[in-house]
Structure 1
Amino acid sequence: MKKTTTFKTYTLLLACLLASSSCTKDFQEINTNPNESTVASPQALLAPLLVNTLNGNLERNFRLNNELVQVTVTNSDSREFHRYEIKPTESNSMWNLWYTNLTNVRSIYSTAEVTKQTNYETFQGISLILDAWMSSMITDLYGDVPYFEANAGRDGIITPAFDTQEAIYADLFKKLEQANLLLTETKANEKDIPTNLAYADPIFAGNAAKWRKFGNSLYLRLLLRASGKIESNAIAKIKEIAVDNKANYPVFQSNDDSAILKFTNVLPFVTAYYNTANFYFNGDKGYSEFFINNLLALKDPRLPRWATEATTGTYAGMESGYRKGTIPQVQSTLQLNLKTEPLFGNIINYSELQLILAEAAVAGYIPLNAKELYEAAVKANIELWGLPFDPTYFDNEEAKFDPAASKTEQLQKVQLQKYFAMMFTDFQQYHEYRRTQALQLYKGVGLENNGKMPSRFVYPITTQSYNKKNYDAAVARMGGDNINVNVWWNK
């Protein structure tokens, strides 16, 4: 896919906006003034790294995640991800994207410390939240990865050690705790980024309280992911945040709180597919049978929002995991107006949070009503996509949440709706399927890897070459470097 711009372009555009005068006026004097800081301001880094990361996530979501978890199916035999065949070269793109932007995320924290500008603690809190988000995406996809020594090239560390996922998660929890404290408001709005800088924050326009809710909602996502590991103490922390001490851990309360960079499709805030030819967006792939059939069974209003009708005048999906050389006909495809969809900048939304809490309630981690949480989540996501909600939606047996059903059946209902709530969101659907196995994905006749969903991505080839000693140690500890090695939270 052709990228519409580069990180440097975003940085330049935002820097121009942040300047009090034009980009060229007094350029030499500004850049040679001994009284000026040589450190980039944190607000100049924030928007570019967010746009760059989210667009990179979106591209790989389309290419890899959606094929693995049967959102879409390609009609090309050269892209066989729906058959669970992933070439090692596929690992490079996300590794490079996330580590590059993690450098900028951590620079926000350090430059805020150096400049001590107004509201610098807020920028540090934002940095810690984005660090937890970005670092979790890295470790969830690969397992043990460089973390504590990562992004330390300026300090002379060019071959960082690989840290265990368990140690990484423990530190992510610490960072989110610290962010919650940094963003705590002691007086109304005192932590907010000033209005004249708010446009540098394309998610919350400088609202510190909403960043705090984002951090704690992300915290719950990661705690639930680690909840199968007793040593994480995740279950007790989920209860503390959601029930026992919720006043000190505010979370999303509505769709308006959701962490979504809503693309305006005016430079620099344009989606990765803004200028993509229609064929490469929806001509060489279609929605899968699993995706279409479940939305039809639910009688879900989101179906026409996302999908076109097939040539038959009805909605239909393609077979996922079809046998090589027997390419099925493309049926329902992505609506072309999704190329400029503002919601493509989703990180975590209110609906996902409600479903996280619903699952925790089903599991008995928290004494909350799973049915109410489930129904609130479904309603919220339908409305997030700009659609009216009909309460009779839950009259349908396929959509109804039955508190008397088995925990397995309840989890399946929750996870199917979470699958739809996380549409177009990096690799979250893939991670949740690996964690719960609750989605009843179809088994195509042409599946590779003995029909087993890959458990992770292998390390990039360049990392294997240039950081061999630390790579070898990590591989020995994890039990190999192949797609069937489980990460810590999935063992």
Structure 2
Amino acid sequence: MKKIQYIILLVIASCISACSSFEEMQLDPNRTTQASPALLLTNIETKAFNEVQLSAGLASRYLVYTDGVSLNQYYGWQRSSYQSYDHLRQVVKLEQEAQRTNQPVYGALAKFFRSYFAIGLTQTFGDIPYTESLKGDEGMFTPAYDKQEDIYLSVLEELKEANQMLATTQESITGDVVYKGDLKKWQKLVNSFTLRVLINLSHKERNTKLGVKQRFQEIVNDPAKFPIFTSNADNASLTFYDLESNRYPYFNNNDMKTAYYMDETFVALLQNLQDPRLPKFADPAPKAANLPAENLAAYGGVKGSETLDVNKARVVAGEASKIASRYYSSPTNEPSIAIGYAEVQFILAEAAAKGWVNANAEEHYKKGIEASMLFYNIPTAAIAAYLNQPEVQLSAGNKLATILTQKYISFFMNSGWQPFYEQRRTGLPAFDVSGDGALNQKRIPKRWMYPESEFNLNRPHVEAAIARQYPDGDNINSIMWILKEE
């Protein structure tokens, strides 16, 4: 009997030893389970600020794709993804590492990036998981969906906290490939982005819970406490280098070289305004090869809503301008702007035109145009001549339309989906859907449907969110809360 007990004890001891050895073997001694906040910051910045997106250019009627049917161009998309939650996981890790290493300045930056990615997600879908999201380490794998109103309120508070933290710290930031550790520039970004968030809420200016106008005025009226962008040097932009994995996203892209042409409506807009940015955006059409590049009559386009065969025929006839060759031939080209000084000036101009702030709408409007043109290296004399044109002036009956049109022009090949969201919010400028290629019954979609994975992994919560928001179900024409007038 004792012999049997002894054998059992040996077996148990062996199991314990084996289990212990197995657990130890799962830990790679060469791979750290902790990360430097600096390394995390660099990775997050490159994901957040690389906002050069051809899909947005097609949907926003800047460009036309001619080698196949693009659902972004023809407004026939359906679902989008939750990829931004992968970036948010890194943001959560940044905040954790900021606490672990006692470097709260990275916690302030984490607040900004959490807000940045969350706004992108809610602009895409409507209600999203927010409060309970990314808490798998706490056993929360099926997060509830927060209402869009509550997400915006939380974001506004987070951004305000981030501004305060940045204003009161003397810590240094390393790993910063955008602002090189300049705390003041980060503070300007936080507040400038807050202005974008607030202008996105223009339909909610009577919402006392959000206090949109009051928050806007608080920032504008106290630049010492809430500094904002004051020049293009403050732009939140990602610079590209002629190094592997650091080049312009569409460098040597074959589709860019052969299949991306200018949208006819965008070319016509620039021609009507005699806009000197057109030669920066496009190459002359083959049909007008005998004209100098500075002659705007040398440019043409095809209609984004027209059928593929019609557009191909016009391309073969030499009527259409390709996107400027620098977008695919230069490894460095121009920085990718996530949010820039020009946009901030147009936001201020719109707010002044609406009476939100006591400011000169025309002054901010013209500063926005100047900032955009300087970014594209337009000579100062040409800028002055452009600003003096009658077609460019603000007048009592066209202030908002003129401001928003110039804002739209300034977004060419930067700022991601922001031009589409602006048009969705304001209806300006009108996006053409007259061609026979337009899908979705010639309607411009209002959103994207939730990812299929959510119905497989988090069905009760995603279905509850759909029922709460969209009486007609989860479809691309449903109107999210932010777009409804109050």
TM-score by length of 2: 0.85
1:256 corresponds to 2:233: yes
Give the distance between the partners of 2:224 and 2:132, measured in 1 at CA.
35
1:62 corresponds to 2:54: yes
**SS of equivalent residue, structure 1 residue 346:** strand
1:7-30 deviation digits (Å, cap 9, x = unpaired): xxxxxxxxxxxxxxxxxxxxxxxx
Tell me the equivalent position of 1:19: none
**Matches of residues 296-445 of structure 1 in structure 2 within 5 Å?**
296-313=271-288, 314-323=298-307, 325-328=309-312, 329-330=314-315, 331-339=320-328, 340-389=331-380, 390=382, 391-402=384-395, 405-406=396-397, 409-423=398-412, 424-445=414-435
**SS of equivalent residue, structure 1 residue 183:** helix
**Aligned CA-pair RMSD:** 2.0
1:267-301 deviation digits (Å, cap 9, x = unpaired): 44323223423xx1141121101111111122222
1:325, distance to aligned residue in structure 2 (A)? 4.6
User: What amino acid is aligned across from residue 435 of structure 1 in structure 2?
Assistant: R
Indicate if the aligned counterparts of 1:223 and 1:238 stay in contact, CA closer than 8 A: yes
1:81, distance to aligned residue in structure 2 (A)? 2.6
Specify which of 235, 248, 253 is matched with residue 213 of structure 2: 235
Give the distance between the partners of 2:272 and 2:161, measured in 1 at CA.
44
Q: Which has the larger radius of gyration?
A: 2
Tell me the equivalent position of 2:475: 482
Deviates more, 1:133-142 or 1:387-396: 387-396
1:216-273 deviation digits (Å, cap 9, x = unpaired): 0000000111131122211111111112x23210000111011111112324432322
Deviates more, 1:383-392 or 1:465-474: 383-392
User: What amino acid is aligned across from residue 393 of structure 1 in structure 2?
Assistant: Y
Specify which of 113, 137, 155 is matched with residue 172 of structure 1: 155
Give the distance between the partners of 2:218 and 2:75, measured in 1 at CA.
39
Give the distance between the partners of 1:415 and 1:151, measured in 2 at CA.
37
Give the distance between the partners of 2:185 and 2:131, measured in 1 at CA.
28
**Matches of residues 2-41 of structure 1 in structure 2 within 5 Å?**
38-41=33-36
Tell me the equivalent position of 1:27: none
1:32, distance to aligned residue in structure 2 (A)? 5.2
1:70-93 deviation digits (Å, cap 9, x = unpaired): 0111114431332221143xx13x
Give the distance between the partners of 1:396 and 1:79, measured in 2 at CA.
37
Tell me the equivalent position of 1:22: none
Tell me the equivalent position of 2:187: 212
1:395, distance to aligned residue in structure 2 (A)? 2.3
1:136, distance to aligned residue in structure 2 (A)? 0.6
1:71 corresponds to 2:69: no
User: What amino acid is aligned across from residue 422 of structure 2 in structure 1?
Assistant: E
Indicate if the aligned counterparts of 1:77 and 1:327 stay in contact, CA closer than 8 A: no
Give the distance between the partners of 1:137 and 1:155, measured in 2 at CA.
25
Give the distance between the partners of 2:74 and 2:29, measured in 1 at CA.
57
1:42-83 deviation digits (Å, cap 9, x = unpaired): 11111122223444x43xx202x2222201111144313322
**Count of residues paired in the alignment:** 432
User: What amino acid is aligned across from residue 213 of structure 2 in structure 1?
Assistant: I
1:481, distance to aligned residue in structure 2 (A)? 0.9
Deviates more, 1:423-432 or 1:148-157: 148-157
Q: Percentage identity across aligned positions?
A: 29
**SS of equivalent residue, structure 2 residue 286:** coil
1:37, distance to aligned residue in structure 2 (A)? 8.0
Give the distance between the partners of 2:100 and 2:421, measured in 1 at CA.
37
**SS of equivalent residue, structure 1 residue 318:** coil
Deviates more, 1:229-238 or 1:36-45: 36-45
Indicate if the aligned counterparts of 2:78 and 2:476 stay in contact, CA closer than 8 A: no
User: What amino acid is aligned across from residue 474 of structure 2 in structure 1?
Assistant: D
Indicate if the aligned counterparts of 2:231 and 2:341 stay in contact, CA closer than 8 A: yes
1:266 corresponds to 2:243: yes
**SS of equivalent residue, structure 2 residue 261:** strand
1:99, distance to aligned residue in structure 2 (A)? 1.0
**SS of equivalent residue, structure 1 residue 299:** coil
1:156 corresponds to 2:139: yes
Deviates more, 1:170-179 or 1:68-77: 68-77
1:124, distance to aligned residue in structure 2 (A)? 1.3
Indicate if the aligned counterparts of 2:66 and 2:308 stay in contact, CA closer than 8 A: no
Give the distance between the partners of 1:440 and 1:396, measured in 2 at CA.
22
Judged with a 3 Å threshold, the aligned counterparts in structure 2 of structure 1 residues 219 and 45 are, in CA distance, closer, same or farther, namely same
Indicate if the aligned counterparts of 1:51 and 1:269 stay in contact, CA closer than 8 A: no
Specify which of 179, 182, 195 is matched with residue 165 of structure 2: 182
1:209, distance to aligned residue in structure 2 (A)? 0.7
**SS of equivalent residue, structure 2 residue 203:** coil
Give the distance between the partners of 2:117 and 2:373, measured in 1 at CA.
27
User: What amino acid is aligned across from residue 321 of structure 1 in structure 2?
Assistant: S
Indicate if the aligned counterparts of 2:304 and 2:432 stay in contact, CA closer than 8 A: yes
Tell me the equivalent position of 1:10: none
User: What amino acid is aligned across from residue 466 of structure 2 in structure 1?
Assistant: V
Give the distance between the partners of 2:135 and 2:467, measured in 1 at CA.
24
Tell me the equivalent position of 1:221: 196
1:155, distance to aligned residue in structure 2 (A)? 2.1
1:145 corresponds to 2:137: no
Tell me the equivalent position of 2:45: 50
1:129, distance to aligned residue in structure 2 (A)? 1.0
1:125 corresponds to 2:111: no
1:91-140 deviation digits (Å, cap 9, x = unpaired): 13xx21x1101111121112101111xxx222111111111111111110
Give the distance between the partners of 1:216 and 1:53, measured in 2 at CA.
17
Give the distance between the partners of 2:455 and 2:47, measured in 1 at CA.
26
Indicate if the aligned counterparts of 2:64 and 2:303 stay in contact, CA closer than 8 A: yes
User: What amino acid is aligned across from residue 474 of structure 1 in structure 2?
Assistant: A
Judged with a 3 Å threshold, the aligned counterparts in structure 2 of structure 1 residues 161 and 332 are, in CA distance, closer, same or farther, namely same
Give the distance between the partners of 1:387 and 1:207, measured in 2 at CA.
28
Where has structure 1 moved over 6 Å in runs of 4 or more? none
User: What amino acid is aligned across from residue 349 of structure 2 in structure 1?
Assistant: A
1:390-443 deviation digits (Å, cap 9, x = unpaired): 3111222222223xx22xx21111111111222222110110001011213333
